[in-house]
Amino acid sequence: MELGRPNLDEFAATLLELARDNPDILVLTSDSRGSGKLQPFAEQLPDQLIEVGIAEQNLVGIAAGLAAAGKIVFGVSPACFLTARALEQIKNDVGYSDQKVKLVGISAGVSYGALGSTHHSLHDLAALRAINNIDIVVPADNFETREAVRAAVTHPRPLYLRFGKKPMPHLHRPGTPFAIGKAITLAQGSDVTFVAAGEAVAPAVEASELLRAEGVSCGVISMHTVKPLDVETLLNAARRSRALITVEEHSVYGGLGEACASVLLQHGLIRPFCIVGIPDEYTVTGSQMEIFVHYGISGEGLAQRARQLLEVELIQ
């Protein structure tokens, strides 16, 4: 897989392009322009960047006010603080009041690695899934990032975008269609299908290559929109595959995995099924990659899960 740049860089570059042609696009930062890769934006379009200081709650409230006055607002702050500190503002001022703010959670998941749990966002998908009227998009690569940022500008509902800061491999062929709410099927498989989101898609692709070499028919889906979930694509994959594995850079509680499990069960589709993510424990110290490998979010780790799951199924 050819390596691109960090999704955060792609996000910032795309936003700068769009904002140059549209003075109604505003960016809000909370001492976060550096981590948001928005320094060039701040220099080139200083009138379109509003700094609020280290004050995430204030950031979301101001964003709602600006959106209410017709502005196209991107509120950019580390995912951990944005979605925990300002959760009530997100729920009431954005979701409930239907202000079409675009919230951008940067350095999401365990991107901050050894900075520890204060800086991890392993709760954001769960917290926001339970809030009415906010869509959740977790792009996997530069292509999905660019398309999601473009789509965000005219998206008819409040939106949460989630980005990591590690360079991502290019996953999609040129010309692949993208729409918020429509998952992208990278490969179809009859033995096992990985349903992944964000920076967890790349390891799922690696695992699928390992498994294919062993003769396992393996599918991969990038479920970039975690809410609303693309139920049709998920059900089709489940009908095709003997087993399903979800993969996410999030707590195994309340995220993509449980969203998929709920859909499958309520449609009566019972398959050997496994949720891979960060378990409910004191997260191990390490870089993002070390944490991924520790919890099996790696090519080999996921391939092993698949082998176990398929073996279980053979025994039954």
Partner 1 sequence: MTEQELRLKSVAYRRTILTIIHHAKAGHTGGSLSCIDILNVLYNHVMNVSPENFSDPNRDRYIQSKGHAVEALYTVLADRGFFPAEALYTLSRYQSHFVGHPTRKVPGIEQNTGALGHGLSVAVGLALAAKKDKRPYRVFTLLGDGELTEGSNWEASMSAAHYRLDNLVAIVDRNGLQISGPTEQVMSLESLTDKFTAFGFAVRTCDGNDIGDLLRVFEALPFAPGKPNLILARTVKGKGVSFIENALNWHHKVPSDDELARALAELDEAERLLKVVV
Ligand X SMILES: Cc1ncc(C[n+]2csc(CCOP(=O)(O)OP(=O)(O)O)c2C)c(N)n1
Which of partner 1, ligand X, none binds 115 (CB below 5-8 Å, type-dependent)? partner 1
Under a CB-based contact definition with an 8 Å cutoff, are residues 298 and 203 in contact?
A: yes
Phi, psi angles (nearest 5°) of residue 32: -125, 15
Choose among partner 1, ligand X, none what residue 57 binds, the Cβ cut-off being 5 to 8 Å by kind.
partner 1
Tell me which residues in 81-100 interact with partner 1 (CB under 8 A): 81, 84-85
Determine if 14 is a binding residue for partner 1 (CB under 8 A).
Answer: no
283 secondary structure, DSSP code: P
- Tell me which of partner 1, ligand X, none is bound by residue 107, counting a contact when its beta carbon lies within the kind-specific cut-off of 5 to 8 angstroms: none
Residue 134 one-letter amino acid: I
Lay out the site mask for partner 1 across 48-77 (x = CB under 8 A, - = otherwise). Answer: ---xxxxx-xx-------------------
Place of tokens 């595959």: 241
Tell me which residues in 5-64 interact with ligand X (CB under 6 A): 31, 54
**Cis peptide preceding 228, ω within 30 of 0:** yes
Pick 117 or 262: Cβ nearer partner 1? 117
Measured CA to CA, the distance from residue 83 to residue 66 in angstroms comes to 19
**Residue 314 burial (10 A CB sphere; 0-12, 13-18, 19+):** exposed
> What, of partner 1, ligand X, none, does residue 286 touch, CB below 5 to 8 Å by kind?
partner 1
Measured from the CB of residue 115, what is the shortest distance to partner 1 in angstroms?
Answer: 4
DSSP code, position 46: G
For residue 235, give the H/E element and its range: helix 231-240
Residue 132 exposure: Cα atoms within 13 Å on the Cβ side = 4
The closest of 120, 139, 104 to 226, measured between CA atoms, is: 139
With binding defined as CB under 8 A, does residue 80 bind partner 1? Answer: yes
- Side chain identity at residue 65, one-letter code: G
- Among residues 13, 16, 33, 76, the one that binds partner 1 under rule CB under 8 A: 33
Contacts to ligand X from residues 74-133, by CB under 6 A = 81, 85
Q: Does 23 bind partner 1 (CB under 8 A)?
A: no
| Partner whose footprint covers residue 225, from ligand X, partner 1, none (CB < 5 to 8 Å by kind) | none
List the single partner that 121 binds among partner 1, ligand X, none, CB under 5 to 8 Å by kind.
none
Q: Which of 114, 130, 179, 213 binds partner 1 (CB under 8 A)?
A: 114
Rounded CA gap, 137 and 127, in Å? 14
Q: How many angstroms from the chain centroid is the CA of residue 86?
A: 19
Question: What mask, x for binding partner 1 by CB under 8 A, covers residues 128 to 167?
Answer: ----------------------------------------
CB 6 within 8 A of CB 76: no
Of 118, 15, 132, which Cα lies nearest the Cα of 76? 15
Task: Specify the stretch interacting with partner 1 by CB under 8 A; choose among 69-77, 125-133, 169-177, 287-295.
Answer: 287-295
Site residues (vs partner 1, CB under 8 A): 29, 31-35, 51-55, 57-58, 80-81, 84-85, 113-119, 282, 284-287, 290, 294
Site residues (vs ligand X, CB under 6 A): 31, 54, 81, 85
